[in-house]
Chains A and B, each alone.
Chain A
Amino acid sequence: MNAVPAAPQGPASHGPVSHDPSASHGPAPHGPSASQGPAPGSAPGSSPVAARERGILAAPPELTGAVTHSRLRRGRRRRLVVLVLAALIAGVFLLTLMVGQTFYPLDQVVRVVLGEDVPGASFTVGRLRLPRAMLAVLAGACFGLGGVVFQTMLRNPLASPDIIGISSGASAAAAFAIIMLSMGGVQVSIVAIAGGLGVALAVYLLSFRGGLAGTRLILVGIGVAAMLDSVTAYVLSKAPQWELQEAMRWLTGSLNGAGYGTVMPVLVALAVLGPVLLSQSRALSLLRLGDDTAAALGVRTERTRILLIVAAVGLIAFATAATGPIAFVAFLSGPIAARIAGPAGSLLIPSALVGALLVLVADFAGQFLFGLRYPVGVVTGALGAPYLLYLIIRTNRTGGSL
Chain B
Amino acid sequence: MTGTHRLEANGLTLGYRDRIVVEGLDLAVPPGRITAVVGANACGKSTLLRSMSRLLAPQSGQVLLDGRQIHSMPAKELARTLGLLPQSPLAPEGITVADLVGRGRHPHQRLLSRWRQEDDAAVAAALEATGTTELADRAIDELSGGQRQRVWIAMVLAQQTDLLLDEPTTFLDVNHQVEVLDLLTDLNRGRGTTIVMVLHDLNLAARYADHLVAMAAGRVHAAGAPGEVLTAGVVRTVFGLESRIVADPVSGRPLVLPIGRHHTEGADRAGEHGAAAGMRERDALQGGYARQPEERSSPGEPEA
Contact = CB atoms under 8 A, between A and B. Distances in A.
Interface string B1-32: 11110000000000011000000000000001
A66 B124 contact: yes
A241 interface: no
Of A32, A42, A289, chain B has the most CB atoms within 10 Å of the CB of: A289
Interface string B61-102: 000000000000001111110111110111111111011101
A296 B55 contact: yes
Contact of A279 (B112, B130, B191): B112
A292 B88 CA distance: 9
Nearest to A282: B106
B104 interface: yes
Interface string B194-227: 0000000000000110100000000000000000
B129 A290 contact: no
Interface stretch (A57-65, A180-188, A323-331): A57-65
Contacts of B54: 295-296
Contact of B253 (A20, A54, A64): A20
B179 A31 contact: yes
A301 B207 CA distance: 37
Interface string A30-43: 11110010011010
A55 B136 CA distance: 15
A23 interface: yes
A261 B201 CA distance: 68
A33 B130 CA distance: 9
A201 interface: no
A31 B147 CA distance: 11
Interface in A17-76: 17, 19-20, 22-25, 30-33, 36, 39-40, 42, 48, 51-60, 63-64, 66-68, 70-71, 74
Nearest to B50: A292
Contacts of B267: none
Nearest to B211: A19
Contact of A282 (B84, B109, B122, B159): B109
B123 interface: yes
Contacts of B4: 4
A155 B178 CA distance: 33
Nearest to A56: B190
Contacts of B146: 31-32
Given A155-B90, A288-B90, A296-B79, A55 B84 contact: no
B124 A63 contact: yes
B189 A9 contact: yes
Contacts of B210: 19
30 contacts: A1-B122, A3-B190, A3-B192, A4-B3, A4-B4, A6-B189, A13-B189, A22-B182, A40-B134, A56-B128, A58-B121, A60-B124, A64-B117, A66-B124, A67-B136, A70-B137, A71-B98, A71-B102, A74-B99, A283-B106, A285-B92, A285-B103, A293-B84, A293-B85, A296-B79, A296-B84, A297-B106, A298-B78, A400-B93, A401-B93
Given A42-B128, A67-B123, 8 more contacts: A4-B32, A4-B192, A59-B125, A71-B115, A288-B92, A296-B156, A343-B99, A400-B93
